């Protein structure tokens, strides 16, 4: 544990934020929370005493706790001012997907505030922001950890950073990086057929089922456009040293039929998209049949070819006995091909989505920061 006390500012109390607070509340000697924000409201433990602290276990009722201050949303400078007035070090835990907050990370870091986050935006937008984040961390003597930006709680980023730091030569990274697309393809084109297998479903039926189960974003096109996978690949490629300018600077196969791409992302637009998706089922069926004729199955994957400096996101056929073809449910799988590991890659596999596992990655990052500050 650090020699000086550490104070926390936490932003975002959605699926991940709520699970994070629950896990934090069970930690012995957890740092004090002095700022807790959602989009419309901020709760502050007031300076200079920073007492009482915001209780992690009872944050939902904390706004009525005597001694805490309530306010509307704060600007990054206001958050910095509060977090730098504590008698110790501070860490900002960003559990939002807000690009504006992410673009302020350099300001936080230069002020000496460490960052822990599952928010991909800061690390997968313009390359200049990525560089600014890590340069600012060095200047501010602050730390930045973002394990849960790829593969949720799975040890993907830490594994890759360890491979790089110990001098292994990473030649290729390949995998299924989206829990949603994993579920869609594992259901649409399962490895089989077996006599007990249920009858095959059309693509649009599988998308509808995933949406009803809450596996997709409210607008499934936000999963089907491949952008979330492209952001994850951008992060991994940058860690191995490729200067990827932005997540749209390489080829991405979109699974949205062109004819449906411009329907607005309103509630009525999403309904229309879902209603019209069956018109295009034959396209996905053709892809599935083509793969079957070659004895394979189709999957949506991302890859980084380090030697060729190539990043790709899209559909590929895989042998039926391959690990990617046999993935289950909404699992992720990430294979690291390196000089040391030879032809058998180092593989990380498991659940790559969900509040609890994502929060575990965020909390584990926070523990590393506490050890290293």
Ligand X SMILES: NC(=O)c1ccc[n+]([C@@H]2O[C@H](COP(=O)([O-])OP(=O)(O)OC[C@H]3O[C@@H](n4cnc5c(N)ncnc54)[C@H](OP(=O)(O)O)[C@@H]3O)[C@@H](O)[C@H]2O)c1
Q: Residue numbers of the site for ligand X (CB under 6 A)?
A: 11-17, 37-40, 73, 95-98, 101, 118-120, 148, 152, 353-355, 358
SS3 state at 72: coil
Select the residue whose beta carbon is closest to ligand X and give its number: 14
| Residue number with CB closer to ligand X (136 or 330) | 330
| Residue number with CB closer to ligand X (25 or 317) | 25
| Residue number with CB closer to ligand X (120 or 296) | 120
Q: Angle formed by the axes of helices 15-25 and 355-372, to 10°?
A: 50
CB of 311: closest distance to ligand X in angstroms?
A: 20
Q: Strand 69-71 relative to strand 89-94: parallel, antiparallel, unpaired?
A: unpaired
Active site residue 232: yes
CA distance readout (Å), 275 to 182, 219, 259, 270: 23, 13, 13, 9
Active-site residue, from 232, 320, 328, 339 = 232
How far is the C-alpha of 344 from the C-alpha of 162, rounded, in Å? 18
How far is the C-alpha of 99 from the C-alpha of 111, rounded, in Å? 20
What single DSSP character describes residue 238? H
CB of 355: closest distance to ligand X in angstroms?
A: 6
Q: What are the counts of helices (DSSP H) followed by strands (DSSP E) for the chain?
A: 14, 12
CB of 63: closest distance to ligand X in angstroms?
A: 13
| Residue number with CB closer to ligand X (110 or 120) | 120
Residue among 238, 253, 364 nearest 312 (CA): 253
CB of 25: closest distance to ligand X in angstroms?
A: 17
| Residue number with CB closer to ligand X (40 or 196) | 40
CB of 300: closest distance to ligand X in angstroms?
A: 17
Report the alpha-carbon angle 229-236-150, nearest 5.
Answer: 55
Tokens of 63: 């706004």
Q: How many residues does the chain have?
A: 373
Active site residues: 232
């Amino acid at each position: 544990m650090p020699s000086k006390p550490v104070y926390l500012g936490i932003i975002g109390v959605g699926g991940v934020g709520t699970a994070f607070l629950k896990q934090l509340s069970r930690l012995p000697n957890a740092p004090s929370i002095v700022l807790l924000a959602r989009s419309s409201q901020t709760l502050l433990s007031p300076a200079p005493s920073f007492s009482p602290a915001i209780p992690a276990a009872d944050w939902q009722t904390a706004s009525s706790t005597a001694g805490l201050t309530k306010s509307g949303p704060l600007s990054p400078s206001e958050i910095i001012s509060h977090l730098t007035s504590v008698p110790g070090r501070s860490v900002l835990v960003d559990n939002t997907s807000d690009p504006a907050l992410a673009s302020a990370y350099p300001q936080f870091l230069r002020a000496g505030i460490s960052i822990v986050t599952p928010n991909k935006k800061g690390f997968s937008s313009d390359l200049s922001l990525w560089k600014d984040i890590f340069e600012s961390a060095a200047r501010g003597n602050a730390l930045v950890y973002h394990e849960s930006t790829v593969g949720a709680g799975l040890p993907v980023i830490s594994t890759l950073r360890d491979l790089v730091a110990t001098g292994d030569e990473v030649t290729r990274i390949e995998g299924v990086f989206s829990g949603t697309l994993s579920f869609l393809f594992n259901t649409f084109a399962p490895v089989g057929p077996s006599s007990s297998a249920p009858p095959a479903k059309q693509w649009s039926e599988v998308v509808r089922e995933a949406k009803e189960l809450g596996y997709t974003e409210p607008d499934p096109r936000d999963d089907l456009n491949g952008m979330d996978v492209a952001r994850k690949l951008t992060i991994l490629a940058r860690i191995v040293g490729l200067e990827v300018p932005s997540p749209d600077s390489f080829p991405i196969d979109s699974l949205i039929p062109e004819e449906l791409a411009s329907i607005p992302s309103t509630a009525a637009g999403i309904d229309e998209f879902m209603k019209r998706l069956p018109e295009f089922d034959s396209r996905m069926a053709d892809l599935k049949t083509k793969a079957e004729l070659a004895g394979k199955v189709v999957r949506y994957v991302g890859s980084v070819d380090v030697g060729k400096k190539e990043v790709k996101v899209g559909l590929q056929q895989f042998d039926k006995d391959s690990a990617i073809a046999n993935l289950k449910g909404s699992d992720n799988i990430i294979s690291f091909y390196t000089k040391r590991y030879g032809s058998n890659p180092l593989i990380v596999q498991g659940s790559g989505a969900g509040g609890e596992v994502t929060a575990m990655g965020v909390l584990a990052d926070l523990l590393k920061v506490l050890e290293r500050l």
